[in-house]
Structure 1
Amino acid sequence: MTPLISVIIPTYHRPELLRKCLDALAMQTLSPEQFEILVVDDGDQPQTALAVRKAMQETGLAIRYLAQPERRGPAAARNRGWRVAIGALIAFTDDDCVPDPNWLSAGLAGFNGGSSVLTGQLTMPLPENPTAHERTTALLEKAEFMTANLFCRRSVLEEVGGFDEAFDSPWREDRELQFKLLRIGVPITPWPTALIVHPMRPAPWYASLRDERKSRYDALLYRKHPDLFRQRIPTYSTLVRRHYLTVSAAMVSVMAALAGQGTMVSAGVTCWLLLTIMLVVDQLSGQRLSWKAMGHALVVGIATPFLAVYWRLYGAVKYRALYL
């Protein structure tokens, strides 16, 4: 029997999480004969291949394992998956997600109602004492378009060419697909009955600093779709201005010190210090205070403006976009 739906899961070095996702798919109320699963391993990792084989043996699911010869990012992995899929309907999720038992049945009902693209509901339960990074990550629940819970007709993906593989890290590749769909007039239907839980994964205290590099892809998305970017992507303009002002104050202080201008040094340091304290306070908001938490917040508060400005300028230069 030809499957109706093909589920595409990109993965990278997370076999334990992937197995939880596959186990959840084994619990689907939709008959197993009606769907297939394609796992695209962007890390070509033996442990991931083993996890897939065990899942096939223990659940009886129809799973195909595809190893990428080199790491190219989730956009390329998803493209490879849907292009070799059998189903006329494509469902996307991620290896760290846990689909509800009715997820595929709900998606199929949406297609039967005439939709071409469906975006399901994502929930991200927060821990009791969330960090600033966790609170920011949980905003994904409110995203209007996400590949962690997305259904598309294969014909629509073929029409727009799938994902843009220039987005070779997990950031903005989903919104770029959304913008291409909007440009050709494909309706995107919210479908809250298609539910996926995205557990909050433990992250190191410096995770927000590491994630600043993702912002370079904002410049690429802006260059490709400037009008839709301005309409639909939050700019956080106040925070961005604070970052630029913080970096500028630090630079003024250094240059004034080299020029022997004591008054300018004092003014620059005072401005930098006040802005940095604001960032540190933001980092500590809602957390239990401890020396470790305060130390981490201090490092993040000092480093964030410099990294944020660097990666925004890097993206603007690399992608030749006037996005500052």
Structure 2
Amino acid sequence: MSVPTISVIMPTHNRRDVLLRTLDLYRNQTLASAQYEIIVSDDGSTDGSEAAVTDFATQCAFALIYSRLADNAGPSVARNRAMMLARGSILVFVGDDIFPERDFLEQHLVWHREVYPDERAGVLGRVEWSEELGSTPLMRWLETEGTQFAYGRMVHGQVLDYGCLYTCNVSVKRAFLERTGERFCEELRFCEDSEWGLRLAQWGFELRYNAQARAKHFHPVSLSSSLSRMVALGRSTEALAKVSPTNFRRMINADRYEHRPLLAKMLSILLHPLAGRFLYRPLAAFCERRLAADRIFAICHASYFYRGLASKRLWHNDKAAG
């Protein structure tokens, strides 16, 4: 059996139907099927994903490896397990709801082999919302300027900050990971990608943006689901603060407020959970499908993030956060 050049790392949890749709799109890649493998790392699914993927594997030309964790341990554990099984020299990290364009893998390969062959070079591809979901002002903000992605501020070929290491569409050379020994922190369920990116950057990792490595994100989102995610993100940062104080301080903009107590106090008032619930959320709900209200979306999401942060007492314990 030939050794593939690319290993696609795809964690999943209880999303059998969309997972099968995603896998089906990899049948039509412009790369020869022998050049890539897909490793589905099942994070303890209970929806029949195992049987569905096992059956799919008998019908596709590319190598499809299925690995299942006994319990839901989080995406970091799932990715680390898949990395242990990978045979390719290039690891492409994707989500189970990321629909690749036909030349998706070829774009990653060409940039690693021909454009930026240095071992330390990685590639971030472009992700847009699937047309099937429609597009709202809120979704466009989340994609281009918001709390989820920042593609609106990127330029093709640009070197990106480690915070832009989005594991829905990013690739890294396996030799670099083997030399550095860096894996995802298994204590983290949120922010694990940027925390990993920070450690890689300390080894000289350079993340380049390839706007042509395109994929569609099939993940319905609403204001309610997006704000719930922000609360969960805020609560999860207790683990991040312990694992990576630098990354935590960056997330809460600590350096901006550390020596400006008045500004920090104003921030704590502006982002108070009551303001988020009774002022910003109604405004954001009004704008969600009507207006491109980026500033309203931004302050509303920030308020809900700090609600989760305050529930863990991190907001009040860190003076820099106000």
User: CA shift at 1:225, angstroms?
Assistant: 4.6
The residue identity in structure 2 corresponding to 1:39 is: V
Residue identity in the other structure for 1:58: Q
**Where in structure 2 are the equivalents of 1:306-317 lying within 5 Å?**
308-315=305-312, 317=314
- Kindly state the Cα deviation for residue 66 of structure 1 after the two structures are TM-superposed: 0.6
Distance in 1, Cα, partners of 2:319 & 2:73: 26
CA separation of 1:229 and 1:214: change in aligned 2, threshold 3 A = closer
Note if 1:164 corresponds to 2:150.
no
Distance 1:321 1:174, change over 3 A: farther
The answer to whether the 8 A contact 2:15-2:47 is kept is no
Is this contact kept in 2: 1:124–1:141, CA < 8 A? no
Structure with the largest fraction of helix: 1
* 2-structure distance, mates of 1:97, 1:181: 24
SS state of the match for residue 49, structure 1? helix
Q: Deviations over 1:3-43 (max 9, x none)?
A: 11111100011011111111111111111111111101112
Task: Using the TM superposition, give the Cα deviation of residue 284 of structure 1 relative to its aligned residue in structure 2, in angstroms.
Answer: 1.2
Q: Give, in whole Å, the separation in 2 of the partners of 1:304 and 1:278.
A: 10
| 1:193 corresponding residue in structure 2 | 212
Q: Give the conservation status (yes or no) of the 8 Å contact 2:44–2:73.
A: no
Q: Give the superposition deviation at 1:218.
A: 4.0
Q: Relative to structure 1, is the Cα distance of residues 241 and 276 closer, same or farther in structure 2, using a 3 angstrom cutoff?
A: farther
Find the counterpart in structure 2 of residue 31 from structure 1: 32
TM-score, L = length of structure 2:
0.74
Name the CA shift for 1:228/1:213 in 2 (closer, same or farther; >3 Å). Answer: closer
Letter in 2 for 1:145: L
Q: Distance in 2 between matches of 1:249 and 1:316?
A: 13
Match of 2:136 in 1: 130
CA separation of 1:189 and 1:206: change in aligned 2, threshold 3 A: closer
Give the conservation status (yes or no) of the 8 Å contact 2:234–2:308: yes
How many pairs align?
A: 285
Q: Measure, in 2, the Cα distance between the counterparts of 1:195 and 1:9.
A: 16
Structure 2 match to 1:147: 167
Structure 1 residue 157: Cα displacement? 2.2
Contiguous gaps of at least 5 residues in structure 1: 251-271, 290-300
Aligned position for 1:202: 220
**1:59 counterpart SS class:** coil
One-letter amino acid of the structure 2 residue matched with residue 144 of structure 1: C
- The structural deviation recorded for 1:226 is 4.8
Render the CA deviation track for 1:240-278: whole Å, top value 9, x for unaligned: 97773268696xxxxxxxxxxxxxxxxxxxxx69x9334
Are the equivalent residues in 2 in contact too, given 1:91–1:150 (CA < 8 A)?
Answer: yes
**1: CA distance between counterparts of 2:307 and 2:288?**
28
Q: Which residue is 1:277 aligned to? A: 279
Q: Write out aligned runs for 1:220-259 (5 A).
A: 220-221=239-240, 224-227=243-246, 233=251, 235=253, 244-245=268-269
Shift of 1:77: 0.5
| Distance change in 2, residues 1:67/1:184 (3 Å) | same
Task: Work out which of the two has the higher radius of gyration on C-alpha atoms and give 1 or 2.
Answer: 1
Amino acid at match of 2:97: D
| TM-score, length-scaled by structure 1 | 0.74
Q: Describe the SS at the equivalent of 1:70.
A: coil
Query: Contact 2:223 / 2:285 at 8 angstroms: preserved in 1?
Result: no
Partner of 2:156: none
Whichever residue aligns with residue 150 of structure 1, its letter is V
1:173-214 alpha-carbon deviations (Å, 9 max, x no partner): 111111111111122222222211113x23466313421111
For 2:294, the equivalent position in structure 1 comes to none
- Alpha-carbon distance in structure 2 between the residues aligned to 1:249 and 1:125: 32
> Residue deviations 1:258-315, cap 9 Å, x none?
xxxxxxxxxxxxxx69x933442133115359xxxxxxxxxxx8x995x544421345
The one-letter amino acid paired with 2:172 is C
Q: Distance in 1 between matches of 2:319 and 2:24?
A: 46
Query: Structure 1 residue 163: deviation in Å?
Result: 0.7
